[in-house]
Amino acid sequence: MGAEQPAGPGARRLTGDPGRSHRMDRETLQPQAKRIEESYVSVERTLVLVKPDGVARGLTGTILARVEAKGYKLVQLKLVDATRELLERHYEEHVGKPFYEPLVEFMLSGPTAAAVFEGNRVIEGFRSLAGTTEPTLAAPGTIRGDFGRDWGLKVQQNLVHGSDSPESAEREIGIWFG
C-alpha cells in the first residue's frame, strides 16, 4: 500500500503514527501563531545617559557593559556635547527647583554618552541596576552603589540617568536622538 499524500498546498506529512496524515496549512497554523504572539510582552525602549562624571572617569564602557550583561540590547549610542537648549527640554519638569541650574551646569561640564536600550521591562530593569539617585545610599552591586559617591557639590553627580516610564522614554529619546 502506498503512503497517503498530504492534502492541500503547503501541507506536509509529519512523522509519527504510520498511515496517519497531519495537515499543516494556514488555517491550522494561524491560531497557533496568534497565541504565541500574544504570549510575548511588548518590548520597551529606554534612554540611558552616562553623565559627564561617568564619562570623565572612564566608566562609560563599564556601565554600558553592565546593561548589556543584564540582557538588554543596545540599539543606539552617541557621545553628545549637550547644549543648554537640549538640557532645558530634557529637564523641563525641574525648572524653578533649587537644583535645576546646578544640574544644567553639571550636564554642560562635559560630554554625555546617550544610549537607547530595548528589552522586556528595560525601564524598570535599568533603574534597578542604576540604584537610588543618592550614591551614598545606593546598594552595592548597583552602578551608583559601586561607582558613585557624594562629592559635596550643589548637585548629585550620580553617573547615570534612566527614563522613568514608557512616556518619558519616548519623549527623552526624541530629545536626544530626534
**Helices (DSSP H) in 9-165: which residue ranges?**
26-39, 52-56, 60-69, 84-90, 100-108, 122-130, 143-147
Q: Give the C-alpha separation, 119 to 117, whole Å.
A: 7
94 is catalytic: no
In the chain, the amino acid numbered 167 is: E
112: nearest Cα among 65, 78, 89: 78
Question: Distance between CA 144 and CA 83 in Å, rounded?
Answer: 25
Query: Which of these is catalytic: 22, 90, 94, 161?
Result: 161
- Between the alpha carbon of residue 60 and those of residues 53, 81, 90, 114, 142, the distances in Å are 10, 15, 20, 10, 15
Q: What crossing angle do the helices spanning 122-130 and 60-69 adopt, rounded to 10°? A: 130
Supply the residues annotated as catalytic.
Answer: 161
